[in-house]
Structure 1
């Protein structure tokens, strides 16, 4: 307990260095009301003849009393919407519940090609196509086409989902804020290999090979590779790894290619004109370390990334201590949740 308090204090000091004051999220006396949505979308910006031929699944959860602000949550590659509310783990690992308890609605989606969303030909899937899909989902949530109507939308991404969020918000400029997690503008060449080596054809996986409609291009992670790929060198917890393995999902190679070209090389993120919060694991093996991004503190992260964002982004940064890439699974994930809800309170509002 004392160790947790010390880490919470350190995180508060870290956020103060970037101009944000930590305040506890609002408590909720009742559970959020949740419903499943199937949103008509398209992989192209302007669908042919106006037809949206794909479906994006999302789990919409609205806190008691409602909310004018929605956080749209986009998971990373080989993850589904379960990343934001992992089944079988304590509520402290639920990003969704923390945001709902702070008074905000959430829509956790499955990227097209994963989860309960459409499974088109894998060759059609790119990070840009996913950005078009998310754009259509944002339009639907702003107009109330598939459920409640929201006045403000914060786009939240993790890893590949963050690349999608960057491309979407930089292209369409239709959101009020962006939360980027598990993604910077420098890949860690010395430590990224376990993550890349973990990928294998989904057709060879006992679980994913049972998904109907997959072609040979879809990938997932090899069995037993989740810790090395996404959590190392954070503490190993068997319950956490089992939950991650049980909910692993799919990715298409094309999503990685233009995520790197557009998200990392250009950097396209300088077109974002909404406030941005960037959160990373201190020991993220995909993006942090020597020859990559300095994620040792919020301030070093800000210094490493500030040139990749325009002044209009008012870039804020946060670091989850002692964990790897998939920070919502960290034992100290509540630090991340508090950082996001506090930033949303200050920059966006209810």
Structure 2
């Protein structure tokens, strides 16, 4: 397995009743008519999914799919949700949200790790988009669907949009075409089999499921000056797994060509200190105007691509101290480019 790793390395105010705050500021899931969880069937099993509705009517839903190393808690963060909970912020702005865990993550099915691919995730995302338009899990059908991905699932959002052209907007976070290859490989080198950690060993993973080694997430996904230590602790407790087999086709979305076929409004978001997607010396993420100029050549005019840089943030923009600025940028983009009732 270690040889395989070496080889592959080389080549979201919401519906207030959803949570009850504790004295520590950590939100606990509550019984609320605004949110409900259900399994979504796919060829390899089921995806754990949670649909949350805004306080009033909405005809637009944002599909929030977790990327590698994270699960749905990245979008629906429990600690100080009035700051860090992206899902809650979008609901408060009038958008429904559908948080979905990839296969292998959270309560989703855990198939053999070597069978996982970004292409299959993109196909599953297509099924979710279509179901949302029909009325997923008995909900009222949504007129508009926006996919919101982070890191690996930003790539699968590109793949889904260009293959099926069935969404009304695409938000790509922790994504750009300015991949810093040495830094990315350095991050990948910090992974190890999830079964080597006692907390993860009993969850049914095979040895091909990888996770970050304890203590490495600060370097990989955050900037030390822009993260609350309590956020970092909870992120470590809720960290997730993935398979390296999800990356070969997933990385194709960051090469010139594929994103040029997106034909709906697109928002590209990166943290100003994202060591993986900001190029050498973070130069591509100096500010929003710089990232806009860097990314424009990779998108057709029909995408009306807009770029936003969250200053000081690492790869995990949802969990940066100043994440409210990023949330506001997404809402402004969505209100302007897609809209809701």
State the TM-score bracket (shorter-chain normalisation): 0.7 to 0.9
Residues 271-280 or 284-293, more deviating? 284-293
**Any gaps of 5 or more consecutive residues in structure 2?**
1-12, 19-33
- Return the match for 1:202 from 191, 194, 206: 194
**How does the TM-score come out when normalised to structure 2?**
0.87
What's 1:16 paired with?
Answer: none
Match of 1:176 in 2: 168
C-alpha displacement at 1:292, in angstroms?
A: 7.2
Alignment partner of 1:232 is 2:233: no
Whole-angstrom distance in 2 between the partners of 1:162 and 1:247: 20
Native 8 Å contact 1:293 1:304 kept in 2: no
1:99 to 90, 97, 106: 90
TM-fit CA distance, 1:38: 0.9
- Name which of 74, 83, 98 aligns with 1:83: 74
- The 3 A distance-change label for structure 1 pair 28 and 239 is closer
SS at match of 1:344: helix
Distance 1:237 1:64, change over 3 A: closer
Deviations 1:265-305, CA, capped at 9 Å, x for gaps:
24311111110011110110011132776111111101111
Q: Secondary structure of the residue that 1:40 maps to in structure 2? A: strand
* Aligned: 1:69 with 2:37: no
1:303 aligns to 2:293 (yes or no) = yes
Residue in 2 aligned with 1:312?
302
- Tell me the equivalent position of 1:191: 183
The partner residue of 2:244 within 243, 247, 253 is 253
* Aligned counterparts of 2:286 and 2:136: Cα–Cα separation in 1: 43
Please give the secondary structure, in 2, of the residue aligned with 1:207.
helix
Which of 40, 53, 56 is residue 47 of structure 2 equivalent to? 56
Q: Using the alignment, how far apart are the partners of 1:293 and 1:253 within structure 2?
A: 28
Judged with a 3 Å threshold, the aligned counterparts in structure 2 of structure 1 residues 319 and 145 are, in CA distance, closer, same or farther, namely closer
Q: Would you say 1:155 and 2:140 are equivalent positions?
A: no
The structure, 1 or 2, with the larger RCO (C-alpha pairs under 8 Å, 6+ apart) is 1
Other-structure match for 1:288? 278
Match of 1:133 among 102, 124, 133: 124
CA distance 1:95–1:268, change in 2 (3 Å): same
Scaled by the length of structure 1, the TM-score of the pair is: 0.85
Other-structure match for 1:109: 100
Quick check: 1:71–1:105 contact (8 Å CA) kept in 2?
yes
Which residue number in structure 2 is paired with residue 3 of structure 1? none
Post-superposition shift, 1:88?
Answer: 2.5
2:264 aligned with 1:264, yes or no? no
Q: Residue 332 of structure 2 aligns with which residue?
A: 342
